[in-house]
Amino acid sequence: MAAPPNKKKGLLDPIVAILRWIWDRLERTLLLALKIVFPSRFISPLGFLGMLTVVVFIILGVTGALLLFHYSPAFGDCTDATSSACNQAFQSVADINNKVDWGLIIRNIHYEASNAMVLLAVMHMFYQYFAGRYKLRYEMLWITGSYPQYTRPVGHQHWANADSR
């Protein structure tokens, strides 16, 4: 018969034991509507970078659509410095900042979300590469996941090539 493994007691083990005892008692009350289970092993939060990128993409879509209602780009002749068409885009952004309710906040959310999306996408790519996600069973996802629209049968690519008509 093997001896049980010698598990060292950590400094925070008594505190964790008390918190687990409280948590076990609370889940039987009406205070908690959902039961949250602590994972038995450590799960890296870096695995959720792809999902966070999708969430930020949705935020960008919503705020971009809201900004689109008030933005008007300039398509005028800009040879004359006093032309009102040249200042139309700048003026619409100034109107979003100063006159539209919550416009400055929505514009700043859109700006910060765009920076966060670039950061999250780069972090996601680095994590996937250095964690070795491209190896073994994931290598087919990496190979087939890039540009799947060009792997369609001939005759179904008319939308991918503008000169197909």
Of residues 24 and 68, more confidently modeled: 68
Kindly state whether residue 59 falls inside one of the protein's structural domains: yes
Q: At what angle do helices 49-68 and 103-130 cross, to 10 degrees?
A: 150
For the stretch 66-115, pLDDT in tens is: 999 999 887 666 666 666 666 788 888 999 999 999 999 999 999 999 99
Kindly state whether residue 42 falls inside one of the protein's structural domains: no
Strand residue runs (E) in the chain: none
Q: Which CATH number does the domain housing residue 64 bear?
A: 1.20.810.10
Q: Give kind and range of the element (H or E) at residue 4.
A: none
Q: Is 155 left (phi over 0), alpha (psi -120 to 50) or beta?
A: left
Q: Report whether 57 contacts 117 (CB < 8 A).
A: yes
Q: Report whether 76 contacts 86 (CB < 8 A).
A: yes
Is the four-CA dihedral 79, 81, 82, 85 of positive or negative sign?
positive
Domain of residue 117, residue span: 48-75+83-139
DSSP 149: G
Of residues 115 and 15, more confidently modeled: 115
Kindly state whether residue 26 falls inside one of the protein's structural domains: no
Kindly state whether residue 55 falls inside one of the protein's structural domains: yes
**Which whole-number Å values give the CA distances from 155 to 145, 163, 165, in the listed order?**
21, 13, 11
pTM: 0.57
